């Protein structure tokens, strides 16, 4: 609801005055000489003041009501730009726009100056950001904990078709949204040794369990310094805290070394310490990289646990009551060292007896699993753990010993007891002894959840099958969701305006149910026309971005066929590229057919050490170069790989998509969230029955999606039979054989004809992700896509129904389920 005219005028004037005050007193500029970036800082700081007032009120309310707190531990928080997010959720977007117009400042132009916070890579980090916003919207006392990466992942540049990793400098001009907390500092130890505690007579001092007390003498200490970012919920009802940790050395300079002329050595400890919060996901293909990854994970977990326990203690609660007042959710295996660290703090620092410490730990911690790939469940070599975290390794051994003894006692009649013990142990004995962090997170948590119905079902049968037998009540499902405020209201204002016009403002506050009222309009020609018009507007905007950044001209009337996500073999960008080549060959062979004009859009980053994924990016760009320069196509097919995919780019791509590619090998994608974002904006999905695609098909209807390929059960059957050789699949598809021969023969790489020989030969001999097996089914599904596109009425009917039926995939619903069923944190 818009305020009364006099009230609105006053609010506009007040915001304008606040911006001018920040420009003068915080930025140090006057309006006549301010640059655009000066205006951005002033607007952000004025907006932050609005947030801070509500933040303090909400914090005081939480303390007064003694609300149970939820602590969300995540190595990633992909929060994107915050200006429009904050203005929109505070309900002052139009007030700000009008106030700045009076200063001859274009808010939409200023918005583009804000860098994306480089605090994540893909779906895991974006999910964490959505969850933080939903916790604020629902009034849950939520706290996010992570790392304040100075450079984040990397800025992706495409040079001659190859990915090049460049330093991401998102903090170069400062971060106006954060509050540094120099008084909130914790000491984080690494290395050293563990010694028994002896009294003055040399006798061992006993702990609460009657065992010899141990003390960890760390060989290195690093400081963790807090930086807080307020996260405002919808309508500004509540504001929670995202607390990120920056690593600093205990001493910023070794003055004695410096004065002795060793200027580099004098800051060596500073460099080593600050490397912890320098880069997200450092290359772990080396031992040094693995060590840094472990240091990062322990650093932020230890600081976060120390911080939340300090808060718990300051509230006057006993340490034994921690599970009643705090819930800690571990987002994937990265924070799973929290199991050992919480036990260490309770036993060594609070003198809690072992069994009671274990009760507290399990009762407080919960674990979200995000992968079914065994290699993606983190493991650390025992040697590295003993060297870096010796006390934690002792505790892990003790947890494992009790765990194994308990299993041996309860399952002594199991005919394969040895196999069971080997599967559930925290220590992997094959191929070098390693600590299984997934198993540690499982047995150290009272709840283990999957993120889609299929994923949760497969968790019980695959990666955690044996542990599920031991703890049958622990695994549960919480299907992922997305915040509609970011991925509809902000990303697609034209569609949002349409929805408000037809359904009223209730769609903004109750989108989970209100969107269903859109269904009757799906058959209304005038609404279909308007729906198609807003899509065309988004496509024109995206085409302008691509033209500006890449110099490629696109036809906005063509079908925009989009696959944007992290580059990984199981996500099967390769399958999409094979279809692109097959389509290219078919168009050249039969130019008279009424082909649907199509733009294939790819984007995503490959891990720096993931050579196969980087080769796929090169292939995409080689295909794009060939296709886009072929005059015989007459512009009916274009291929684009957009560099440096991030949240802001996604906000431009997703509203412009006609077709959403969700084509991972069935049974391997835990959930996916881009599928939800595309569907919400009315894109039709082509995909396998994988992850949340299954629930989308149930909510939206199979007739409004294009499902293809093997099911998870069929994939598992082929794996079990060892049927990875693709010769038979290729022999039964002349179309696929032509595609492979063209790529292997250098048609798309004339500068290096042998570039893709290894890629294709490896695929033929070991098609691990069944790209070839699913190709013909995929081609047939794409043919159905073309037929539907030719029937505009049916296409736009399906598009409207996709938007209408996506309400269930709101992250508000997901968080409500977490809060009610795991955290017990809603009134």
Q: Which residues are the active-site residues?
A: 370, 565-566, 571, 673, 677
Do the bridges between strand 155-159 and strand 141-147 make them parallel or antiparallel, or are there none, so unpaired? unpaired
Looking from the CA of 368 toward its CB, the CA atoms found within 13 Å total 27
For the chain, first and last CA: distance in Å?
28
DSSP characters over 2-35: PPPHHHHHHHHHHHHHHHHHHIIIII---GGG--
Cα dihedral sign, 517-521-526-530: positive
Phi-psi region of 722 (alpha: psi -120 to 50; beta: other; left: phi over 0): left
Percent composition of the chain: helix, strand, coil (DSSP 3-state, to 5): 55, 15, 30
Non-local CB neighbours of 823 within 8 Å, separated by 6+ positions = 68, 70, 140, 327, 329, 366
Nearest to 130 by CA among 487, 369, 650: 487
| Structure token pair of residue 646 | 């991030």
Nearest to 129 by CA among 673, 826, 723: 673
Instruction: Count the residues in the chain.
Output: 827
Q: Considering only CA atoms, give the Rg of the chain.
A: 28
3-state DSSP assignment of residue 327:
strand
Nearest to 474 by CA among 449, 502, 491, 501: 449
Quickly count helices (H) and strands (E) in the chain: 35, 22
Answer yes or no: are the C-beta atoms of 466 and 407 closer than 8 Å: no
Report the alpha-carbon distance of residue 783 to residue 164 in Å, rounded.
35
Non-local CB neighbours of 648 within 8 Å, separated by 6+ positions = 80, 81, 116
DSSP characters over 163-196: EEEE---TTTT--TT-EEEEEEEEEEEES-EEEE
- Angle, helix 573-589 to helix 734-744, in steps of 10 degrees: 100
| Structure token pair of residue 370 | 């995000």
Answer yes or no: are the C-beta atoms of 341 and 392 closer than 8 Å: yes
3-state DSSP assignment of residue 602:
strand
Answer yes or no: are the C-beta atoms of 795 and 788 closer than 8 Å: yes
3-state DSSP assignment of residue 651:
helix
What are the residue ranges of helices labelled H in 519-566? 525-550
Answer yes or no: are the C-beta atoms of 312 and 178 closer than 8 Å: no
What are the residue ranges of helices labelled H in 176-276? 255-259, 268-274
Q: For the chain, how long is the longest CA-to-CA vector?
A: 97
Answer yes or no: are the C-beta atoms of 355 and 363 closer than 8 Å: no
Non-local CB neighbours of 108 within 8 Å, separated by 6+ positions = none
Answer yes or no: are the C-beta atoms of 27 and 38 closer than 8 Å: yes
H or E segment and range at residue 477 = strand 475-477
Whole-angstrom CA distances from 5 to 10, 14, 94, 409, 504 are 9, 14, 13, 75, 21
Whole-angstrom CA distances from 79 to 242, 244, 804 are 10, 12, 26
Report the alpha-carbon distance of residue 649 to residue 644 in Å, rounded.
8
* Neighbouring-strand partners of residue 652: none
CB atoms within 10 A of CB 220: 16
């Amino acid at each position: 609801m818009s305020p009364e005219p006099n009230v609105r005028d006053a609010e506009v004037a007040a915001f304008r005055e606040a911006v001018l005050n920040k420009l003068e007193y915080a930025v140090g500029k006057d309006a006549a000489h301010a640059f655009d970036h000066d205006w951005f800082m002033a607007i952000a700081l004025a907006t932050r003041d609005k947030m801070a007032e509500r933040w303090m009120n909400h914090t005081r309310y939480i303390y007064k009501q003694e609300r149970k707190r939820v602590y969300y531990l995540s190595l990633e928080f992909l929060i994107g730009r915050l200006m429009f997010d904050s203005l929109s959720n505070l309900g002052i977007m139009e007030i700000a726009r009008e106030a700045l117009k009076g200063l001859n400042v274009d808010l939409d132009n200023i918005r583009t100056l804000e860098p994306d916070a480089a605090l994540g890579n893909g779906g895991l980090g974006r999910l964490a950001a959505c969850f933080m916003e939903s916790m604020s919207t629902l009034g849950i006392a939520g706290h996010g904990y992570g790392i304040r990466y100075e450079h984040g992942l990397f800025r992706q540049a495409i040079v001659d078709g190859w990915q090049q990793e460049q330093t991401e400098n998102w903090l170069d001009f400062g971060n106006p949204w954060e509050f540094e907390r120099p008084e909130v500092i914790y000491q984080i130890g690494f290395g050293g040794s563990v010694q028994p505690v002896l009294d003055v007579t040399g006798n061992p001092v006993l702990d609460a369990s009657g065992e010899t007390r141990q003390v960890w003498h760390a060989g290195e200490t690093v400081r963790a310094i807090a930086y807080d970012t307020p996260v405002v919920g919808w309508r500004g009802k509540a504001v929670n805290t995202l607390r990120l940790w920056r690593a600093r050395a205990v001493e910023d300079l070794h003055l004695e070394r410096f004065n002795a002329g060793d200027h580099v050595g004098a800051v060596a400890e500073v460099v080593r310490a600050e490397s912890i919060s320098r880069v997200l996901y450092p290359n772990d293909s080396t031992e040094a990289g693995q060590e840094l990854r472990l240091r990062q994970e322990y650093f932020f977990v230890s600081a976060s646990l120390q911080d939340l326990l300090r808060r718990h203690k300051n509230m006057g609660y006993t340490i034994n009551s921690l599970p009643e007042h705090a819930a800690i959710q571990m987002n994937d295996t990265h924070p799973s060292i929290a199991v050992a660290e919480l036990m260490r703090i309770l036993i060594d620092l609070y003198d809690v007896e072992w069994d009671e410490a274990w009760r507290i730990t399990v009762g407080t911690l919960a674990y979200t699993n995000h992968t079914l790939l065994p290699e993606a469940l983190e493991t650390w070599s025992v040697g590295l753990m003993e060297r870096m975290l010796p006390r934690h390794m002792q505790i892990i051994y003790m947890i494992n010993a009790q765990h194994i003894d308990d299993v041996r006692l309860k399952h002594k009649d199991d005919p394969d007891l040895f196999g069971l013990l080997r599967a559930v142990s925290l220590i992997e004995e094959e191929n070098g002894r390693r600590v299984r962090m997934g198993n540690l997170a499982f047995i150290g948590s009272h709840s283990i959840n999957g993120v889609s119905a299929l994923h949760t079902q497969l968790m019980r049968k695959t990666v955690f099958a044996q542990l599920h037998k031991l703890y049958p009540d622990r695994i549960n499902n919480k299907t992922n969701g997305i915040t509609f405020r970011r991925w509809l209201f902000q990303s697609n204002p034209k569609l949002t305006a349409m929805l408000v016009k037809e359904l009223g403002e209730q769609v903004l506050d109750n989108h989970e149910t209100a969107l269903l009222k859109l269904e009757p309009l799906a058959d209304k020609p005038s609404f279909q026309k308007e729906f198609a018009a807003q899509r065309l507007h988004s496509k024109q905007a995206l085409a302008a971005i691509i033209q500006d950044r890449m110099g490629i001209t696109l036809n906005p009337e063509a079908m925009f066929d989009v696959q944007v996500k992290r580059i990984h073999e199981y996500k099967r960008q390769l399958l999409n590229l094979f279809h692109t080549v097959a389509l290219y060959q078919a168009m050249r062979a039969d130019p008279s057919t009424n082909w649907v004009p199509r733009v294939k859009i790819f984007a995503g980053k490959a891990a720096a050490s993931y050579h196969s994924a980087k080769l796929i990016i090169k292939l995409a760009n080689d295909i794009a170069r060939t296709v886009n320069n072929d005059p015989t196509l007459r512009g009916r097919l274009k291929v684009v790989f957009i560099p440096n995919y991030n949240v802001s780019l996604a906000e431009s791509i997703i509203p412009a998509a006609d077709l959403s590619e969700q084509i991972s090998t069935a049974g391997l994608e835990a959930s996916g969230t881009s599928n939800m974002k595309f569907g919400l904006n009315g894109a039709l999905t082509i995909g396998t029955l994988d992850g949340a695609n299954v629930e989308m098909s149930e909510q939206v209807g199979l007739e409004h999606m294009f499902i293809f390929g093997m099911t998870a059960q069929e994939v598992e059957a082929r794996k079990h039979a060892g049927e990875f050789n693709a010769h038979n699949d290729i022999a039964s598809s002349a179309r696929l054989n032509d595609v492979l021969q063209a790529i292997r023969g250098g048609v798309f790489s004339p500068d290096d004809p042998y570039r893709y020989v290894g890629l294709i030969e490896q695929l033929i001999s070991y098609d691990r992700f069944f790209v070839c097996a699913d190709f013909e089914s995929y081609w047939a599904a794409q043919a159905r896509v073309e037929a539907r596109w030719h029937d505009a009425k049916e296409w736009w009917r399906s598009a409207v129904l996709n938007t209408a039926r996506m309400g269930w995939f709101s992250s508000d619903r997901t968080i409500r389920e977490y809060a009610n069923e795991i955290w017990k944190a809603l009134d």
